[in-house]
Structure 1
């Protein structure tokens, strides 16, 4: 492992990494300060979403799914769940879409640096990208499947399928 010794422009790569690191630190600090300054943000978002369902009358005391998420809780109510599904789907899709776009843009920036690197570094960066891509797929595919399946009302528990 030679670090930046084999890169054509080691100072440029180091400066870019430093800038990205500093930007991430500053944005995380700003996020923490923003949350500290606004008392409404002291509750987790998952508490805010079920709060829209909690005041509704519930017809069922058990969930039809093997996990407790927003759609499963909405299905226990006695009201038409379409409105609540739409709210949850819009918020969750928006959050997934924004984070996915940010990750894709990050990969594009990394691919630009791959072009500037030597062949040995390209192999290292390529293997790192593949492992990260596997992690991203392992996160986003189940989240997407959960949104789609619970929205369509597909039964996932073993008791109901038998």
Structure 2
């Protein structure tokens, strides 16, 4: 009897990625705290940028978009992971699983797009400081952001389009949430074709966006050499924030998606840890990097906090 003939109707999946985890509750509490801090920090950044009209500038709109992406990224899977580790809820229904899979990979792609546009923004700011506001207006940034979200949705549409028609032979997810790889492994077909299909898309998007970021910094370095010492410090400060964010996102991504395609074997525990790190670390680091290293945002947060504390006293 073929696997297709042995297919079953799946109403829910069982998540087993944490079955061998020692001290799951402690890990769950750590992830819960990290998730809450990441969400609150992103919300604060978004609120401050929207609330203060003087921050309605291209760079801050891009930071606001990155914060929104981080919210989607962390919220797509963190509640499921926390539920498994703390509450022991190891099942997820079929439709919510597909929704989680779509939102997770959408945020994954949008993270690369957001970082690429921010690199381009820094390049224009350094190379054409006097024409910057004529080249990058608020309207153009908003339109560009909408276009990138639409393009990302088009790429991610491949994920449910290839999964939904396939018959399922298993209900167990070996990973810790509903990713494309986890769901494909529950189907009755040879997963290699689908893994290669998605790997080619990930390879293209990862290297094209990372290559674009690298080229942007080559241009930035060239123009920095022509700048004065004071300008070099200012440029270095603004670019360092972006470089920290880029490193936090791309490093674990390349380990998971690239090295494994070249024969590097990762244990399930290591893969799950890298997956969690890829999601939580950028979402946790990004808002604090831009909050603490961007003077305008930091100053506005301090002002709002002082006003709030003053109101509480009265």
Q: TM-score range by the shorter chain?
A: 0.5 to 0.7
Q: 1:154 to 1:20 in 2, by over 3 A?
A: farther
Task: Verify: 1:128 aligned to 2:238, yes or no.
Answer: yes
8 A Cα contact 2:170 2:187, kept in partner: yes
Aligned residue-pair number: 140
Match of 1:110 among 200, 220, 226: 220
Structure 2 gaps, min length 5: 1-125, 274-314
CA shift for structure 1 position 99: 1.0
Instruction: Give the whole-Å Cα distance in 1 for the aligned partners of 2:257 and 2:240.
Output: 26
Confirm whether residue 13 of structure 1 aligns to residue 13 of structure 2. Answer: no
Offset from partner CA, 1:10-52 (integer Å, 9 cap, x none): 9x5312x246415x928945974xx6xxxxx796543432321
Deviation, 1:66, is: 1.3
Verify the 8 A CA contact 1:63 1:76 in the aligned structure 2.
yes
Q: 1:82 to 1:153 in 2, by over 3 A?
A: farther
1:54 pairs with 2:169: no
Q: 2:180 aligns with which of 70, 85, 97?
A: 70
- Structure 1 residues 69 and 145: CA distance shift in structure 2, 3 A: farther
Assess, with a 3 A threshold, how the Cα gap between structure 1 residues 95 and 19 changes in structure 2: closer, same or farther.
Answer: farther
Q: Give the match's secondary structure for 1:56.
A: coil
Shift of 1:100: 1.0
Q: Equivalent residue for 2:208?
A: 98
Gaps of 5+ in 1: 1-9, 36-40
Aligned residue in 2 for 1:5: none
Q: Assess if the C-alpha contact under 8 Å between 1:65 and 1:72 holds in 2.
A: yes
In 2: Cα distance, 1:78 partner to 1:30 partner: 38
Match of 2:140 in 1: 25
* 1:146 positional shift: 3.5
Q: Note the C-alpha offset of 1:124.
A: 2.1
CA RMSD of aligned residues (A): 3.4
Judge conservation of contact 1:58–1:78 (CA < 8 Å) in 2. yes
Q: TM-score, normalised by structure 2?
A: 0.38
**TM-score normalised according to structure 1 size:** 0.68
| Structure 1 counterpart of 2:268, from 144, 155, 159 | 155
For residue 249 of structure 2, the aligned residue among 122, 136, 139 is 139
